[in-house]
Amino acid sequence: MNFHKASLYLFIALGLTVSSCGDDANSDDTSSDGPKTETKTDPNSTGILKVGDKLFNLPSPLEAAFLIEEVGGLFTEELLNPDIDAGNYTTKKAQAMNLGIYGADLGYSLIYNQSQSVSNLLATCKKLGSEIGISPALYTTLMKRFEGNMENRDSLLLTVTQLNSLSDEYLKENESEDVSALIFYGGWIESLYFNTQLVDQLGNERLRARIGEQKNSLENLIGLIGQVNIDGDLDDIVNDLEGLKVVYEKVEYNYEWIEPETMSDKNLTIIKSKSSVTVSDDVLKEISNKIREIRNSIIGPTV
């Protein structure tokens, strides 16, 4: 597995959902009950990861954290990976997955202006990234940019957006689908962990619905991991995700497809399809427990 060709984007830019732009064009872009306006997806644009003959869309790296903030959630440091040193992660596989974990933690800390946490996480990412062959210079440059704008959240978010563009270039040039999948897996699990741990405390239906909507994302993630699991090294991850899928089969997801309206003059598409998701208390608890179990296995020192 080529862990020396990792993307800078994937340790910082990890979101809550992933949608396939291959066989199912309607998989994940209709998560509300009303029309949406969105820019047409360009396979060459930021956030598109190509693995084999399929394209996977990587949404906003800060999506989960933004939603938590929007529904009134406060910063909870206990949600972060407590192993800031990351020295216990000695295998390439563990290092890649936890780089994803720390990336999600970084986004969460950034949204809440936790400057000390951001600084610590950037240093951790630099150390961990260097272990798997990413140039330390990339992290040093990134850390300087953050240190110079630590009090300006808008500027920091702009920096993240700019890094997303660089990430696509790194992925294309280095063909790092294998390590990227592992980093993305860690970030997806961590973002979902945030939501499942806070949903009861906040009692918010949007948060509950977002957790349920990951039923579609999970299918795509299983496919993504499966495509890079050439030698069977990731069988344990596939088994974990398949176990989570069994629980997600109990989530009620309804979808009504309606012809979208295209505004070619503005390069916009109005999505009119509708979807709804129902997650019972028992199923929500099962999902939360399973995500906690998977997450603990990732951040454990013996992965």
pLDDT tens digit sequence for 245-296? 999 999 988 777 777 777 776 666 676 667 788 999 999 999 999 999 999 9
- Residue 49's pLDDT is 58
More confidently predicted of 262 and 202 = 202
Q: For the packed helices 177-202 and 205-228, what is the interaxial angle rounded to 10 degrees?
A: 160
More confidently predicted of 94 and 51 = 94
- pLDDT of 36 > 50? The answer is no
- pLDDT of 114 > 80? The answer is yes
9, 122, 202, 204, 216 from 180: Cα distances, Å = 9, 18, 32, 32, 20
270's enclosing H/E stretch is: strand 268-271
CA 290/CA 267 separation, integer angstroms: 41
- Residue 276's pLDDT is 83
- Residue 94's pLDDT is 93
- Residue 258's pLDDT is 79
Which residues form the domain of 159?
3-299
Q: Which residues, 6 or more positions from 263, have their beta carbon under 8 angstroms from its beta carbon?
A: 269, 270
pLDDT bucket at 240, cuts 50 / 70 / 90:
very high
pTM of the complete model: 0.77
Q: What is the mean pLDDT of residues 122-151?
A: 74
- Residue 5's pLDDT is 35
Where does residue 302 rank: exposed (0-12), middle (13-18), buried (19+ CB within 10 A)? Answer: exposed
- Total of domains in the chain: 1
Choose the weakest-confidence range: 125-139, 163-177, 185-199: 163-177
Nearest CA to 95 among 228, 230, 206, 4? 4
* Percent residues over pLDDT 90 in the chain: 25
More confidently predicted of 167 and 86 = 86
Where does residue 220 rank: exposed (0-12), middle (13-18), buried (19+ CB within 10 A)? Answer: buried
pLDDT bucket at 168, cuts 50 / 70 / 90:
very low
Please give the order of strands across the beta sheet that includes 54-57: 19-20, 54-57, 48-51
More confidently predicted of 50 and 121 = 121
- DSSP designation for 170: H
Q: Helices (H) and strands (E) in the chain — how many of each? A: 10, 8
Q: Rounded mean pLDDT of the chain?
A: 74
- pLDDT of 142 > 70? The answer is no
Identify the sign of the CA torsion 12, 17, 20, 26. negative
- DSSP designation for 79: G
Is residue 51 classed as helix, strand or coil in its secondary structure?
Answer: strand
More confidently predicted of 11 and 83 = 83
